[in-house]
Amino acid sequence: SPAASAPEKSIPAYATALQTQIPEVMKQNAIPGLVVHILSPERGDWSATFGTGEIGEAVPMTLDDVFRIGSNTKTMTSTVILQLVQEGVLALDDPISKYIPGVPAAWSPITLRHLLTHRSGIPDFTALPAYPREWKYSGPSPSMIFNWVRDQPLEFSPGSKYQYSNTGYVLLGWIIEQVSGQAYREFVKQNIFDPLGLADSGYDSNTAII
């Protein structure tokens, strides 16, 4: 089982059981390394590292190791969209055709609100049977995804139901770039990471060593 190390001199009572339980869960799910941060004003804060930071290498995890946060990035995209709404640059009920050229006629009713709330009807490109698997590693651009998905039929009438869609948030990121004139990564850094002092947060890359 992965070994645990806790930087604090004193360990909160609740953490004693976790030190045993977490390695068991990691072993069951083949998780090589993990960092845990718990902030609890009532019961005490606790930070600990488990396992290794490199698959196949005996390099212990540290509290400074970084992780992909995946779809948690959607909260940052939605935050930036709402900042732009607050500034009057965007409106939630604007049609996306206002910002994305070449939108098919069937997408005409789709608004920013539909994209934000996963109610657009646009298929999730990662769930389509013909999804090019190499995209998982090559990092396709928003325009590539748009040009591929635009020929797919909507899965339901916009606004009529909820269905999770990565495509919708790719399009929102693209809209941020269209109206700001900046790359998504730069705009999020400028409007979220830098103001909050998140020096260890950044944009993922399939090629750079982070």
Beta bridge partners of 48: 36
Tens of pLDDT, residue by residue over 90-136, are 999 999 999 999 999 999 999 999 999 999 999 998 888 777 776 76
170 Cβ contact partners less than 8 Å away, ≥ 6 residues apart: 125, 142, 145, 146
Tens of pLDDT, residue by residue over 14-64, are 999 999 999 999 999 988 888 999 999 999 999 999 988 776 667 888 888
Tens of pLDDT, residue by residue over 135-160, are 766 678 899 889 989 989 999 999 99
Q: How far is CA 43 from CA 21, 22, 37, 51, 86, in A?
A: 18, 19, 13, 25, 38
Beta bridge partners of 35: 49
Instruction: Give the pLDDT of residue 6.
Output: 47
Strands 4-5 and 33-38: unpaired
Helix/strand/coil for 99: coil
Q: State how far the Cα of 173 lies from the Cα of 116, in Å rounded to an integer.
A: 11
Nearest CA to 177 out of 68, 70, 87, 89 is that of 89
Q: State how far the Cα of 209 lies from the Cα of 37, in Å rounded to an integer.
A: 24
- CA–chain centroid gap for 134, Å, is 19
Are 167 and 127 within 8 A, CB to CB? no
CB count within 10 Å of CB 34 equals 20
